[in-house]
Amino acid sequence: MLKQYPETVKVVFKNFPLSSHRYAEKAAAAALAAGRQGKFWEFHDELFENYRVIDDKKISEIAGALKLDVPRFEADMQDPLILQKITEDYEEGKGIGVTGIPAIFINGKRVKNRSLESLKDVIEREQKKKGTP
């Protein structure tokens, strides 16, 4: 969708660590810490690829594989600003009714059908409302 609508579609990623996943909050902190080294999406993708086996060792392996400055990465994972961001994102999600992931919103409206065709239809409807091609 980003390639198809580069001028009008923007992705905003929010953290919503599920309490049912023991390492969800640590994984969120790790992705944000990797982001400080320009590797958020790469780390994110590895986390989701390996979500069933995420633990401290796997987080360290991903950091190494992505050639992060590991001491800086580990310090950033503990940064109160990163932890605050995760909490704020989570509370915002709860406030708008998010109970699980993934949750997709377009112009503040939750999209239940997440197929590419459905997303395209919603985007095009929203663009017509705003008079955007």
The domain that holds 90 is classified in CATH as 3.40.30.10
pLDDT tops 80 at residue 132: no
Six-digit token string for 23: 């390492």
pLDDT tops 70 at residue 33: yes
Q: Give Cβ neighbours of residue 23 (< 8 Å, ≥ 6 apart).
A: 54, 55, 56, 59
- Within a domain: residue 128? no
- Within a domain: residue 74? yes
Torsion-angle region of residue 115: left (phi > 0), alpha (psi -120 to 50) or beta? Answer: beta
* DSSP letter (8 states) at residue 21: S
- Within a domain: residue 6? no
Six-digit token string for 46: 């590895």
- Within a domain: residue 108? no
* pLDDT per position as a tens digit, 88-113: 999 999 999 999 888 999 998 899 89
SS3 79: coil
Q: What is the pTM of this model?
A: 0.86
Domain, as residue range, for 49: 15-98
Q: Return the pLDDT at 34.
A: 98
- Within a domain: residue 19? yes
Distances in Å between the Cα of 53 and the Cα atoms of 45, 62, 100, 101 are 14, 12, 19, 18
